[in-house]
Amino acid sequence: MVEKAQGEKVTLLCTFTESQEDLGPLDVEWVLIPLDNRKKEQTIIMYSVDRIYNNYYEAMNGRVQFTNPDPRSGDGSIDILNLKSTDTGTYQCRVKKAPAVESQKIQLTVLVKPARTKCYIEGSQETGRDLTLKCVSQEGSPLLSYNWRKLTGTQELPVTSLLNKDTGELSLKNASEEYSGTYSCVAANRVGTDDCFVVLNVTPPINTAGTIAGAVIGTLLGLFLLAFLVFCCCKKRKEKKYEKEVHHDIREDVPPPKSRTSTARSYIGSNRSSLGSMSPSNMEGYAKTPYNQVPSEDFERPSGQNPSFPPSKYDLAYKIHDITVV
């Protein structure tokens, strides 16, 4: 029986000695005997009539070869490279040289080394609590065994610890702060080892009630502050809206102010109307009044004070300051 690790190289031995009675051609054949008897044997490599044939078994193409390129030397051993777990099985070497036939069986077991080992902690890391350090290898042929050890402090496992080498669990009861430190787990089988590390930090329990109260108070303060900000924003928006409405409000009961131009035109029109009824006897007083004096915007003529004159009895025309009066 031969045991090897995956990825390694193995040599399956097959040596022989010829006798004087063996006169026929030499044939050396290697076959893989399946575990299921209902399946046929599989030839993996053969030497016959001074020629090597190594393309019978597709799963081992490029990985199997004779150890000695010339098996006639009495060495029919083979090398299998880059072993895989599927290469596990029973191999048989058959040497033929008429009239003699000899054979030999070899049991090959390809083991997988432990790999991708992970360490982690299960349970609360508080004083007085129970917790478990766990170690698991993602790869590795059985039988796997696990072993824990402490790397810091006293470098001894706690007195209350309980180790299960088959499952990789290290149970710690009633943990204390002295349990804190770095722990290492080593996974092993017959062909290799692999390890991982974990840091344990045991601390006093947290005041849960104080933490909850602080969280509640903080939440209430946050809500109050948010409500205050919303109130201020709404109030400021209302004030701006009110100022805009007051600014654009137009009072319909207040008449528009009189313009200088309309007042002057009214004044000139009234004077022209008055001049139309003047007689020659009173023209002298109005002739002295200059028309270029335009009343101001505040000027208002009292009602009932417009001069009225009797209709003219004369068909006369006078020109006063570019105005012709008939």
Domain shared by 20 and 89, yes or no: yes
Which amino acid is residue 83, in one-letter code? Answer: L
Domain boundary among 84, 111, 138: 111
pLDDT of residue 154: 83
Residues 70 and 130 in one domain: no
Name the average pLDDT for the chain.
Answer: 80
pTM: 0.54
pLDDT at position 177: 93
Mean pLDDT of 113-141: 95
Q: What's residue 256's pLDDT? A: 55
Local confidence band at 170 (pLDDT 50, 70, 90 cut-offs): very high
Q: Nearest CA to 273 among 308, 310, 321?
A: 308
Together in a domain, 62 and 101: yes
Which of the listed residues 153, 178, 200 is the one where a domain comes to its end?
A: 200
The residue among 139, 132, 100 whose CA lies nearest residue 117 is: 139
CB distance 105 to 183 below 8 Å: no
Q: Which amino acid is at 31?
A: V
Buried b (16+ CB within 10 A) or exposed e, 51-87: eeebebbeebeebbebeeeebeeebbbbebeebeeeb
Whether 290 is in a domain gets the answer no
pLDDT > 90 in the chain, percent? 50
Q: Which of 156, 178, 200 is the last residue of a domain?
A: 200
Of residues 51 and 223, more confidence is placed in 51
Does residue 168 have a pLDDT over 90? yes
CA distance 106 to 15: 13
pLDDT tens digits, 8-22: 999 999 999 888 888
Q: Residue 124 belongs to what domain range?
A: 115-200
122 and 98 assigned to the same domain: no
Tell me: do 99 and 125 sit in the same domain.
Answer: no
CATH number for the domain that contains residue 142: 2.60.40.10
Residue 274: is its pLDDT beyond 80?
no
